[in-house]
Structure 1
Amino acid sequence: MKDVKTPTTRSYHDYLISSLQDSEHAAAYIEVALELEEGESEPELLRAMLKDIVDARLKLNNLSEEAKFRYQKLDKILSETGGAEIYTLVELLDALGFRIAIAPKLIN
């Protein structure tokens, strides 16, 4: 029987950050956080996922000062509210028959 190495938490995190450098992957990652069923959302999940995306952009040296400022501002709000407003908006849209889609911004 071959020895199978299980990835460590650190190697998984490195892989995750690397994959989030792709805008399509990052968009899908955010959608996962927003599409959780009612009662499944965890207050820290959205914050953690956004931090992963910011970390990926930092690793690419591709994060503007404005984006850093906006991230810090939103992170503070999320730490205080747990994202209740965001999840309530998603739930309302779902009840109305809509969903939020996250897509990379087209740059000309």
Structure 2
Amino acid sequence: MPKSLPYHDFLILQLKDPSYAAVYLETHFELDEGESPDPELLRLALSHVAEALGSPDKAKIYQKKLDELLSQRGSDVIYNLGTWLQLLGLKLTVAVGDDTQEIVENSPANSEVLV
């Protein structure tokens, strides 16, 4: 009978692929309408990615730095998270949303422009 990997080991194995790790994090950053962010879930996801993509000898350093940056306030968090992700071979990006046209058409700024 084939043996199976425990879930955590399987997840870390999958996250060793940077493309998979990027999609994994993207799913944790996206929220459905009305959904509240869960900081602990995001911290766990980032921690998993660090475990998978970081070198084993630096795992504690990555975790410590993650804890420090997630405890920060203000815009520094975004910049520091971007830097932290770069150390793991990932980058923080912004993309155009699927419902952009609807948002633009219904924005107050758009409705105020009269010709």
Provide the TM-score with structure 1 as the length reference.
Answer: 0.51
The 5 Å alignment of 1:61-100 reads 61=55, 72-79=64-71, 97=100
CA–CA separation in structure 2 for the residues paired with 1:62 and 1:74:
15
The 5 Å alignment of 1:1-108 reads 11-37=6-32, 38-58=34-54, 61=55, 72-79=64-71, 97=100
CA–CA separation in structure 1 for the residues paired with 2:21 and 2:61:
19
CA–CA separation in structure 1 for the residues paired with 2:38 and 2:72:
13
1:36 partner SS: coil
1:62 deviates by 7.2
Q: State the number of aligned residues.
A: 76
CA–CA separation in structure 2 for the residues paired with 1:79 and 1:13:
25
1:103 aligns with: none
Check the 8 A contact 2:50/2:62 in 1, yes or no: no
| Structure 1 unmatched runs, 5+ | 87-92, 98-108
TM-align CA RMSD: 3.7
Greater Rg by CA? 2
1:27 partner SS: helix
CA–CA separation in structure 1 for the residues paired with 2:22 and 2:12:
13
Distance 1:62 1:27, change over 3 A: farther
| Structure 2 unmatched runs, 5+ | 79-95, 101-115
Code of the aligned partner of 2:37: S
Higher relative contact order (CA 8 A, sep 6+): 1
1:77 deviates by 3.4
CA–CA separation in structure 1 for the residues paired with 2:35 and 2:69:
20
Code of the aligned partner of 1:34: F
Post-superposition Cα deviations, 1:10-54, rounded to whole Å, max 9, x if no partner, equal 801110000000011000011011112243321101110010011
